[in-house]
Structure 1
């Protein structure tokens, strides 16, 4: 049993790390820079650790930039304000993402500028061959180590970790939590201590400072685990953090709301 739980937790956090580090902070916002070789290494690592639910850096990056530009309007790719339920929002997001990733959508060039692309690798990593391969490996692991029937209930979540991670933030962090900043949308800091989402839950901070590598840091308890890794990689000169000045911004604190 413990092998399954360790596997699930490790997959949750490693998949989430590459989503927030590579797809979100790098591909979408260029909160740091890296050379082209390192970029391709992170493409491959993202595929390995997201596995069956690998997301295209291009599809994710473009869609997320649209989210910031149109947050909580009719043009937002995912907004609880315009979607009746969590599952309808997830399906709408999936449809828009697929159109962008497959380059079927007519996109304003401002959203595509400098978004990393590796079309040949993306085509393979997003293929059904790749997804079925990873899915088969997960099933084999569960078959070998699952000693209780209820452990199998975790498997569908692992098949869909990336959409699950996105839904937690795109739905709940626009409905519940507290705010540090007045912004033109409903974004909130979902968790005061982000033990679950690797810093992603400081969503109000992020909507105010989209290009900032550190999503936390405006209250003593806002510790961003992903930013700690980013600082180490910057010190090792694997990446270079983009300078961002937020010293003149006033924090307007509010209590948690639901």
Structure 2
């Protein structure tokens, strides 16, 4: 039981901060917040994403390119230009690394207005940090695993962020239905979107990229949106007026 609780907690906490901080805040600036809260979210993203911490600036640059060139040859991770999900993941990692190391200059319209914390950026992206988190995950499994098959979950912990991104980018542009004609292949992959905290409402999101609510129809529930509304009411964040 501790292993399953740990796995589920890691999955959803890592995913929450990826969609809340790197995606909705760093990439789209769907809300504003104080410098203190930004640093708190930054630190929590690092802790809960762990070995697969995603640099917010690099994430934002790549994601903005994805929206601008959705499902074209310039899209950094469109499933329609790769033979399988692994080839797409490989190309995504290369593009992300270019932005991380600043070896690729983004177009001016994609650059700027990204949260940065040099210390966490440096530590979180280091091999030492990733190996340390991997060791902690492994120790937890050694201490609490009761069946051999549980160890098969360990690789998912190591690559949690990239795996979640691959699911969203592959499934969200191949499987499901469309509410809008966005001139791309974006889809809403209901009902699996709930397990991805609303990230699989890709068709809705590409139609309204700055909307904090990824759901559109009555049955499309974005679990992160009510959390953001609560934070807004508590004045932790300030949502855009069109939220």
> TM-score when scaled to structure 1?
0.92
Distance (Å, rounded) in 2 between the aligned partners of 1:170 and 1:201: 8
Q: Deviations over 1:73-108 (max 9, x none)?
A: 111100111111100000000000011011111211
SS, match of residue 111 in structure 1: coil
* Paired residues, number: 243
Residues 46 and 120 in structure 2, CA contact (< 8 A), matched pair in contact too: no
1:5 is paired with a residue whose SS is helix
Q: CA deviation at 1:116?
A: 1.2
Q: CA deviation at 1:194?
A: 3.0
The yes-or-no answer on 1:95 pairing with 2:64 is: no
Which runs of 4 or more aligned residues in structure 1 lie more than 4 Å from their structure 2 counterparts after TM superposition? Answer: none
Indicate the structure with greater helix content. 2
1:137-216 equivalences under 5 Å are 137-192=136-191, 194-216=193-215
Aligned to 1:33, what secondary structure does the other structure show?
strand
**Could you say which residue in structure 2 is the equivalent of 1:248?**
none
Partner of 2:78: 79
- Quote the offset at 1:120 in angstroms: 2.5
Q: Does 1:220 align with 2:218?
A: yes
Give a deviation string over 1:146-200, Cα, whole Å, max 9, x none.
1111000000011111011101110011110011111011000012463210111
CA–CA distance in 1 between the matches of 2:39 and 2:111? 18
1:232 to 230, 233, 238: 230
Offset at residue 35 of structure 1 (A): 1.6
**1:27–1:115 contact (8 Å) kept in structure 2:** yes
Instruction: Kindly report which structure 2 residues correspond to 1:28-177, keeping only aligned pairs within 5 A, or say none.
Output: 28-177=27-176
Q: Closer, same or farther in 2 for the Cα pair 1:205/1:48, shift >3 Å?
A: same
Give the conservation status (yes or no) of the 8 Å contact 1:193–1:221: no
CA contact (8 A) 2:194 2:221 kept: no
1:110 is paired with a residue of what secondary structure?
coil
Which ranges in structure 1 are unaligned for 5 or more consecutive residues? 246-258
The root-mean-square deviation of aligned C-alpha atoms, in Å, is: 1.0
The offset of 1:113, in angstroms, is: 2.1
* Secondary structure in 2 matching 1:81: helix
